[in-house]
Structure formats: C-alpha cells, structure tokens
Amino acid sequence: MSQAMPTTGVHVRAPGKLNLFFEVGPLGDDGYHDVASAYQAVSLYEDVWAEPSDAFTIAVSGSVDVSTVPCDDRNLAVRAARMVAREVGYRGGVHLDIVKNVPVAGGMGGGSADAAAALVAVDALLGADLGTARLLAMGAKLGADVPFALMGGTAIGTGRGDELRPALAQGRFEWVIVTTGDGLSTPEVYGHLDAQRDDGLAPEGREDIRDVEPGVLHALRAGDARALAEHMRNDLQVAALALRPELRTTIELGERSGALAGIVSGSGPTIAFLAEDRDAALDLQISLAASGYAALHVHGPVHGARVLA
C-alpha cells in the first residue's frame, strides 16, 4: 500500500449523545446485552485537532474534569487514530489535541465522540478518504456508541447499539442536562442491573428485542416533545439510581420545575430533562442552577463528527 501523505492539521467536532429510550435485554452468554436505543446527538461538543507527528500522542483539556482520562493507548481516540493509520499504511504518527465539553463517564458518550472525531480527523489528515461505510465499521470495533457519534442526528440502534438506522425526527428538541463531576462506570451500572434482575429488584429484560417502542418513533416523527416525554425510558436508570440515590432528587426537582420528563442518560450520572420549548428550557436551567446544580441547555438533533473549516 502506498504511504499516505499528511496535510498540516485538521479540526473535527463531534457531539455528545442522549439516549431518549434505552431498553436492555438479558445478559447474553457472550457477556453482552442486546439493546434498543433511540439516540439523539446534542449541542455539547468535543473538539479534536489532529496533526502529523513522529509518534501517536495526545493532550486532553476541556471545560469538564479530565483528570481521569487516559493519555496513552487506552484513550479511545488514540486507538482510532492508529486504526486509520494502519488501514492506509501510514508509518508516521499523529498528535491529537482534545478539548472536552462532554462530562467524562457521564453517560453521554464523550469517549465515543472523541474516537469518532479522531477517525474523521485522521482520515482527512492523511487524505485517506475511507468513506462513511468503512469509518462506521471501524467505529463499531472501537465501541458500540462510536458509529452513532459519526452519524449524529437521531437514530435507532439495535444489537449492541451499533446496528444503526436514522430515525425521522422533525424540528428541534430542547434539553437541560444536569452533570456531575463524579462519573459512573458503564460496566458497573450494567453489572448492577444484572444483579438487581437476579434479585427481582428490576424487571427482567425482554429476549429478542428488535426495536424501540413505536410511540418513540411517532413522537420523533411528529416533533412532539410532550409525546416523546411520555415514552422516554431507560432500563439502566434503576441501577444508576441505586448506585446514586441522590439522582432521584434531581429528577424530581427538574420535573417539579417545569420539565416534561427527566431521565438518566445512558449509564448516568447525567440527567437529561426534556423541555416543552426554548423558553421553558431556559427557565428550567435557571431554576436548577439556582438550586446549585450544574445545568446546561442543549438542543438536538445536531450533526455527527465532521471537519470544521
């Protein structure tokens, strides 16, 4: 294979995600769960700059606490960069500069967004032009949420969440998210759900999950926030709330303060509140902030990982 020639530098932005609906099947023999997920990419972004270097290196900073993010080959973005380089036979290195705004271990897919951004950035940096289908396949090898961070918008994910199809969604949904510095480990939350199910403390997972509830698809198609609020669901919530009981108070406060509904995002601990419209979201953000919460107003859907000029 010919040696790819890097350009000088590329800037890519990738979004964090919310799960509007997340059904988790029983623990499979392979140690994984099948899921049915409705994802929405929201306007909280990771910025990744890639430039040619002698080795694969990374610097991580941001508006969130990044002290627990690995800065070596354990970082998903470094693995993504190496994967593209290997794919095109590039023998040099790449330096990645990551500026994170998505809370680490927050259930919003920040690491996956970094990996998606790195795939797109290094593909552009090396002039590889691998194409969407190959980048999606490479993303799925890195993690179940990476393909969605590439795709963005609103999508339905089945299998491990990586068998994706775009969902028709009209208009724009207004969200207020409440973040906490102290993240939750995704494997720990899944493990806790399995234990709760074994002990009869959580409903059994349905075998053979094929899709999200039709009500979710109808609400998205109609751009109807009230209808979506009625159908939002997250099977990991019962586990996240058991591990972090204080999140229940957050959800109750948000719902009393005007949210249509509040839900744990992914494996938590971020809470996502759906608001009726922009004004309602601003009011909600202000009242949650006045109560001492770190509340951000975001909207969705937004684009997946893409190169910025």
* Strand pairing class (57-62; 93-100): parallel
How many residues of this chain interact with ligand ATP, rule: CB under 6 A? Answer: 21
AA letter at 292? G
Question: Toward ligand ATP, which CB reaches closer, 40 or 186?
Answer: 186
Question: Toward ligand ATP, which CB reaches closer, 99 or 282?
Answer: 99
Per-residue binder mask for ligand ATP (CB under 6 A), 61-80, x = binder:
-------xxx---xxxx---
**274, two tokens:** 């759906």
Is 145 considered catalytic here? yes
Interaction of residue 112 with ligand ATP, rule CB under 6 A: yes
Per-residue binder mask for ligand ATP (CB under 6 A), 198-237, x = binder:
----------------------------------------
- What does the angle CA 219 – CA 222 – CA 223 come to, to the nearest 5 degrees? 80
Rounded distance, CA 217 to CA 199, Å? 32
Candidate list 34, 145, 162, 235, residue with the active-site label: 145
Question: Toward ligand ATP, which CB reaches closer, 65 or 224?
Answer: 65
**Helix H or strand E segment including 241:** helix 237-243
Interaction of residue 180 with ligand ATP, rule CB under 6 A: no
Question: Toward ligand ATP, which CB reaches closer, 186 or 234?
Answer: 186
Is 199 considered catalytic here? no
Rounded distance, CA 18 to CA 42, Å? 7
Rounded distance, CA 253 to CA 288, Å? 8
Cross-strand pairs, 243: none
Per-residue binder mask for ligand ATP (CB under 6 A), 258-297, x = binder:
--------xx------------------------------
Rounded distance, CA 280 to CA 152, Å? 25
Question: Toward ligand ATP, which CB reaches closer, 157 or 280?
Answer: 157
**107, two tokens:** 């259930």
- What does the angle CA 298 – CA 236 – CA 217 come to, to the nearest 5 degrees? 60
Q: Shortest approach of ligand ATP to residue 164 CB, angstroms?
A: 14
Q: Shortest approach of ligand ATP to residue 128 CB, angstroms?
A: 21
The answer to whether the beta carbons of residues 149 and 109 sit under 8 Å apart is yes
As annotated, the active-site residues are 17, 145
Interaction site with ligand ATP (CB under 6 A):
68-70, 74-77, 104-112, 114, 145, 186, 266-267
